[in-house]
């Protein structure tokens, strides 16, 4: 089926549109934009710059995708946005193309939901099955790993990483990495409350695996044991065969400690390595009694 383009839309003749594309009224599709099949632009959507979009995506009114990065050093290079398949961009979402840093690309993976007025800045990488709730703001170079959820009106500092299946509660200012499988809450400086039990259950993780990660969390973030000692404990306890998810958690924490201000990818580099999170990522022990009951 050919593209269905409203006579009130403006589509540049050099734009490449796949089959069964819908371009609603008052949309603007700029030169060089590439859109794969079964994608829908409802109305008042702007796609510009070097933007490549996969299959079966939906853009609701007033999305602006591929605009220039909000970076004063930007020199109008042909940087880009890459978007995968099966994503939903609700009203007012903005995704900036990359600045002339790293590989000059802003990436959105597959099956993500970006709710109203959320913003993805230059050189971010939103992986797969991520939810950005209304008003979430990602600074430049932020990475959000698979199945993470960032709740409404939260802001994430540039170069921070949100780990796999992490959950950030609403209204948080996130100045550093959030480890995988963790639940973080607190407005000015989010505290790690416990594991993201609901998210892990929905992902099909076993009670045994969840228990191991909860134990590792308590050893490092509550008892303040060094991450190397935590790893040695599990290597001994599990006879050297650690589950992939636990290995990912330990590796994430190790890189985070080595990073600048607990951001593992911050190019400022690690000014002072921290052996415990006491001076950085805070924790909250108010749920300990409930966790004992649930264990």
Mean pLDDT, to the nearest integer, of 168-197?
Answer: 94
Question: What pLDDT, on the 0 to 100 scale, is given for residue 1?
Answer: 56
Asked if residue 48 has pLDDT above 80, the reply is yes
pLDDT of residue 271: 44
Count of C-beta atoms within a 10 Å radius of residue 233: 14
Chain-centre distance for alpha carbon 111: 13
Spatial contact of 84 and 109, defined as CB atoms under 8 Å apart:
yes
Least confident residue range of 4-18, 171-185, 243-257, 277-291: 277-291
Query: In this predicted structure, what is the pLDDT of residue 287?
Result: 47
Taking 70 as the threshold, does the pLDDT of residue 269 lie above it?
Answer: no
DSSP result, 201-212: HHTT--HHHHHH
pTM higher than the cut 0.85:
yes
pLDDT confidence of residue 292: 37
Residue 294: pLDDT band (50, 70, 90) is very low
pLDDT value, residue 190? 85
Q: For the chain, which residues make up each domain, given as ranges?
A: 4-198, 206-294
Confidence of residue 76 (pLDDT cuts 50, 70, 90): confident
CA–CA–CA angle 204, 209, 210 (5° rounding): 80
Average pLDDT over residues 121-131: 98
Bridge partners of residue 11, in order along the sequence: 29
- Yes or no: say if 160 and 177 are a contact pair by the CB < 8 Å rule: yes
- Averaged pLDDT, 77-97: 97
Alpha carbon distance 254, 282 (integer Å) = 16
> From residue 207, how far is each of 179, 287, 288 by CA, in Å?
19, 18, 17
Residue 187 has a pLDDT of 82
Q: Check: CB of residue 73 under 8 Å from CB of residue 46.
A: no
Answer with the residue of higher pLDDT: 135 or 268: 135
pLDDT score at 281: 59
Q: Mean pLDDT, the chain, as a whole number? A: 91
Cβ atoms within 10 Å of 22's Cβ, excluding its own: 17
Task: Please say whether the dihedral angle defined by the alpha carbons of residues 59, 63, 68 and 72, taken in this order, is positive or negative.
Answer: negative
Q: How confident is the model at residue 242 (pLDDT cuts 50, 70, 90)?
A: very high
Q: What is the mean pLDDT of residues 10-39?
A: 97
Map tokens 């969390």 to a residue: 217
Find out whether 249 and 216 touch, Cβ atoms under 8 Å.
yes
Instruction: State the pLDDT at residue 235.
Output: 96
pLDDT per position as a tens digit, 29-47: 999 899 999 999 999 999 9
CATH architecture of 4-198: 3 Solenoid (2.160)
Question: Are the C-beta atoms of 29 and 50 separated by less than 8 Å?
Answer: no
**For the residues 244-268, what does the mean pLDDT come to?**
95
Tell me what the mean pLDDT of segment 236-258 comes to. Answer: 95
Confidence band of 202 (pLDDT split at 50, 70, 90): very high
The larger pLDDT score, comparing residue 268 to residue 250, is at: 250
C-alpha 63/C-alpha 42 separation (Å) is 10
Does residue 13 register a pLDDT over 70? yes
Contact indicator for 113, 131 with CB cutoff of 8 Å:
yes
Is 279 a residue whose pLDDT tops 90? no
């Amino acid at each position: 089926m050919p593209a269905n383009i409203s006579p009130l839309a403006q589509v540049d003749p050099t734009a490449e549109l796949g089959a069964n594309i819908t371009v609603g009224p008052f949309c603007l599709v700029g030169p060089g934009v590439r859109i794969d099949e079964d994608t829908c632009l409802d109305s008042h959507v702007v796609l510009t710059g070097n933007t490549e979009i996969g299959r079966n995506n939906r853009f609701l009114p007033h999305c602006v995708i591929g605009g220039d990065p909000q970076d004063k050093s930007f020199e109008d290079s042909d940087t880009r946005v890459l978007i995968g398949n099966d994503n939903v961009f609700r009203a007012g979402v903005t995704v900036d193309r990359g600045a002339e840093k790293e590989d000059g690309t802003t990436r959105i993976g597959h099956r993500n939901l970006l709710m109203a007025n959320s913003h993805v800045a230059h050189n971010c990488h939103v992986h797969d099955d991520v939810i950005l709730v209304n008003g979430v703001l990602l600074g430049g170079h932020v990475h959000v790993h698979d199945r993470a959820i960032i709740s409404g009106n939260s802001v994430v500092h540039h170069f921070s990483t949100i780990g796999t299946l992490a959950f950030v509660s609403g209204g948080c200012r996130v100045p550093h990495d959030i480890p995988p499988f963790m639940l973080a809450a607190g407005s000015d400086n989010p505290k790690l409350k416990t594991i993201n039990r609901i998210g892990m259950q929905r992902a099909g993780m076993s009670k045994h695996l969840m228990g191991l990660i909860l134990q590792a969390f308590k050893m490092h973030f509550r008892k303040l044991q060094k991450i190397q000692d935590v790893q040695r404990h599990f290597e001994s306890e599990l006879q050297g065969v650690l589950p992939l998810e636990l290995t990912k958690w330990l590796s994430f924490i190790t890189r985070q400690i080595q990073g600048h201000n607990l951001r593992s990818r911050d190019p400022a580099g690690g000014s002072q390595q921290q052996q415990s999170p006491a001076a950085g990522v805070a924790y909250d022990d108010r749920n300990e009694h409930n966790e004992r009951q649930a264990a």
